[in-house]
């Protein structure tokens, strides 16, 4: 395994596709691979280390989702609760004009009918909302009340659409806990798991990786506001400095930072039954498809769990993982998966968007893990 993964890492770095990376693989509870390579900051020659802290982007989502599930386990939240009962300002309408009944289950599974942005060319500034990556001075209410001015893509429970839903869930959690989202995630998830470097603020600024973006012939350093195209041709607005803005709402979908050792600790906790964060039955449910037969357009062979995508057909999904594996990533440059059948958890992190999340790099690492 080591030779195969090393070859993928070295090829990606030499080609300028990846600047810095940390990869950790655990099988049956034992660490079988752990390596940091490349640069945390290329321009000053600072090497990536296992302890390097990355902006997590959507790797934030499963941590916030697990916080919500922990509240369900404690009887403080129900999957059938309506989001508007906690957030009176959040009242988006169905396509037929009626206020939608959006539940916690809908938010967790991205079946609320929400989207991930509004077209700035056709949307007045006073209606634009922040999706968690760009900088903002909005708080939860200012941001999410604006969603009430947009019709949903579909009635809740009828369409899977990747969206700002986990940001809404984060606001619900903060309301229930009467605290910041950071404090809630720390109390219910990261502190019990010893994830000391994961949160909405930095434990050690000196260890923060510099973010880079795809470019030719090699990745370039991000500016304070950087536009990067994703695989669908959409332009993503990155604002690395958002992390340091105390006025920006804590984005449950994209706002945390963390390390590969912290992430693998979380993945292993879920794989091994959830303790000390979740009940065993809750952790098992978190690994199952939760959207029934609702298709994930553009993602054949995959359903969706409470934490990420679920592999239902390995041939259609074109992945080496077993059926029943769950996987997701973070657009700043990360990918992860849990394979319950093979007993594997993998954290594949980098400081290079979007290659480290949506490019060949994480796919090649996954294949190397299984080809060994």
Query: Which positions are catalytic?
Result: 58
Q: Residue 5, exposed/middle/buried by CB under 10 A (0-12, 13-18, 19+)? A: buried
Is the bond preceding 93 in cis, omega lying within 30 degrees of 0?
no
- φ, ψ dihedrals at 131, nearest 5°: -100, 10
52, 207, 309, 320 from 204: Cα distances, Å: 10, 6, 31, 36
Given a contact cutoff of 8 angstroms between Cβ atoms, the answer to whether 329 and 336 are in contact is yes
Beta strands in the chain (DSSP E): 20-27, 30-41, 46-47, 54-55, 212-213, 220-221, 226-229, 235-238, 257-258, 302-304, 309-311, 326-330, 334-339, 344-350, 352-353
DSSP3 helix / strand / coil % (the chain, rounded to 5): 35, 20, 50
Helices 260-271, 60-73: crossing angle, 10 deg rounding: 40
Check: CB of residue 24 under 8 Å from CB of residue 344.
Answer: no
Q: How far apart (Å, rounded) are the C-alpha atoms in residues 369 and 330?
A: 20
């Amino acid at each position: 395994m080591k030779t195969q993964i090393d070859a993928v890492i070295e090829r990606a770095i030499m080609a300028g596709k990846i600047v810095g990376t940390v990869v950790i693989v655990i099988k049956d509870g034992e660490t079988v691979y752990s390596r940091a390579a490349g640069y945390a900051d290329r321009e000053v020659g600072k090497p990536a280390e296992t302890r390097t802290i990355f902006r997590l982007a959507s790797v934030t989502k499963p941590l916030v989702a697990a916080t919500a599930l922990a509240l369900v386990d404690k009887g403080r939240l129900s999957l059938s609760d309506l989001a508007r009962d906690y957030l009176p300002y959040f009242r988006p309408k169905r396509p037929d004009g009626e206020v939608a009944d959006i539940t916690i289950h809908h938010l967790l599974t991205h079946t609320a009918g929400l989207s991930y942005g509004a077209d700035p060319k056709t949307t007045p500034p006073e209606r634009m909302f922040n999706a968690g990556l760009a900088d903002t001075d909005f708080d939860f209410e200012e941001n999410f009340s604006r969603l009430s001015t947009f019709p949903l893509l579909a009635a809740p429970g009828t369409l899977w659409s990747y969206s700002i839903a986990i940001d809404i869930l984060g606001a619900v959690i903060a309301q229930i806990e009467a605290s910041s989202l950071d404090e809630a995630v720390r109390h219910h998830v990261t502190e019990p798991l010893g994830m000391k470097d994961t949160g909405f603020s930095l434990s050690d600024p000196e260890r923060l990786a510099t973010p880079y973006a795809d470019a030719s012939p090699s990745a370039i350093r991000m500016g304070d506001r950087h536009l990067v195209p994703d695989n669908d041709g959409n332009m993503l607005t990155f604002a690395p400095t958002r992390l340091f803005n105390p006025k920006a709402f804590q984005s449950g979908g994209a706002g945390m930072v963390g390390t590969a050792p912290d992430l693998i600790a979380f993945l292993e906790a879920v794989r091994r039954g959830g303790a000390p964060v979740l009940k065993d039955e809750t952790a098992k449910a978190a690994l199952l498809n939760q959207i029934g037969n609702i298709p994930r357009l553009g993602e054949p062979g995959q359903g969706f769990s409470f934490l990420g995508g679920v592999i239902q057909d390995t041939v259609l999904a074109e992945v080496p993982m077993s059926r029943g594996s769950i996987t997701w990533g973070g657009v700043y440059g990360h990918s992860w998966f849990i394979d319950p059948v093979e007993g594997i958890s993998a954290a594949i992190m980098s400081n290079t968007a979007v290659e480290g999340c949506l490019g060949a790099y994480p796919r090649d690492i996954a294949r190397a893990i299984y080809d060994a």
